[in-house]
Amino acid sequence: MVREVIRSVNNDPSSSPLAFFAAEVKRLRGIAGMTQEQLAEAVNYSPATVAAIETCRVIPSKEFAGNADKAFESDGHFARLQHLVEQTSMLPWFRDRFEVERKATEIQEYESYVIPGLVQTENYARCCVSATRPALTADAINRAVALRMTRQEILDQDEPPRLWLIIDEAALHRINGSAEVMAEQLKHLLRMSERPNIVVQVIPDSEGSTAAGGRPFTILSFVSERTVVYIEDLKSARYARRPDEVSVYALTFDHLRSSALTDKKSRTLIQEAMRRYAK
């Protein structure tokens, strides 16, 4: 039933700017007699990305919109729509993180409760978002999941940022959705941890309390800008930019690393958890 509701929302162009953008891509592609593969070649994106945009699974980038306007000769139609999609698909306080994350050369993130968003599967992300209270509409859930999937595109760039994740073991055991969803998520986490630019370390439960006290945070570093720390609350977020405050979080992250298992031992722990879910 949930999947049927989600599908009906995605197929209704009037449900949101994101759905309308998707419908317009499909409409103009049909008029032009192009397959998804042909459009993908024309806009210099993968067929998988075109398919994801047409099904509202990711938020289209400015580059995609500009290239689509060139391919369809649509006089800036998609560029204007894309701006509206971005404005309505993310909370105002999160929009800054979306932009900052795209420019970061290194991201260090600690998460105690769930698997971090940059390495979540779509099914796991949907379960996390669906737990929000007050409850979100089906369309709002779709847009939140699409935003999370869109954030992950930075990891597939030609020069992706270095990503260092520290996760409490408890996040491996908190079941979001079902055992099947968890097995899929942990398998994905293992695959991501094998990338040369990604380190995943797990703090075992046996470590007890740690330096961060279970409070998640993200340190973002750049080539020519000051390092910042992103701290999120239930309905808001803030950036720590003062060097003295940033240094406290950097020190805390170092202590968390010392409390965590090595990346190799962390993978073993993740594999053990995955096998339990896969039974």
Helix (H) or strand (E) holding 217: strand 217-221
Could you give the CA distance from residue 15 to residue 61 in angstroms, rounded to a whole number?
Answer: 20
Enumerate residue ranges in the chain where pLDDT < 50: 1-10
What does the pLDDT look like over 114-133, one tens digit per residue?
Answer: 999 999 999 999 999 999 88
Q: Closest by alpha carbon to 240, among 65, 265, 176, 249?
A: 249
Burial 71-109 (b: 16+ CB within 10 A, else e): bbebeebbbebbeebbeebbeeebeebbebbeebeebbb
Q: What pLDDT score does 91 carry?
A: 65
CA distance 151 to 144: 11
Q: What pLDDT is stored for residue 7 in this prediction?
A: 40
Confidence (pLDDT) at 11? 58
Complete domains list, the chain, with CATH: 2-89 (1.10.260.40), 92-120+151-278 (3.30.870.10)
Are 77 and 83 within 8 A, CB to CB?
A: no
Instruction: Summarize pLDDT for 215-248 with one digit per residue, the tens.
Output: 999 999 999 899 999 998 877 788 899 999 999 9
